[in-house]
Amino acid sequence: MLKYLAAIGCFGSALLSSTPAWVQDLPTIKSTTVELPAGDALFPGGSSAAAINNNCLACHSPDMVLNQPPLPKATWEAEVHKMINAYKAPIDEADVPAIVSYLVKTKGKD
């Protein structure tokens, strides 16, 4: 019993005695300002670009699309359907022909 009390006493005093602590300094958080390009860019073409402006600008900038290589109509149709089916783009099926027509007119290849 005496050994038990001595062990508890040693353990208790070890817990209560001060020991050096290894503490890391907290990182400094700095505020950052980021300048983003204007988001009001539209596809050129006025009313002929209405379908692509209404459906595609949520995910793509005009520059991103217009910097693609010229592609045949079948490839543009496949790309638009890929956006709808694979990426779940909320494109109305009624707008698909107008979007493809615009892409073929501006970035088409025979």
The CATH number assigned to the domain holding 94 equals 1.10.760.10
What pLDDT score was predicted for residue 74?
97
The residue that leads in pLDDT, 39 or 6, is: 6
The residue that leads in pLDDT, 23 or 17, is: 23
Among 106, 2, 95, 109, smallest CA distance to 50 is for 95
Measured CA to CA in angstroms, residue 62 lies from 13, 53, 54 at distances of: 72, 9, 12
What pLDDT score was predicted for residue 21?
65
Q: Which two tokens stand for residue 25?
A: 């300094």
Domain count, the chain: 1
What pLDDT score was predicted for residue 16?
67
* Domain housing 61: 44-110
Rounded-to-integer distance, Cα 45 and Cα 1, Å: 94
Summarised one tens digit per residue, pLDDT across range 28-52 is 889 888 887 766 789 999 999 999 9
State pTM to two decimals. 0.65
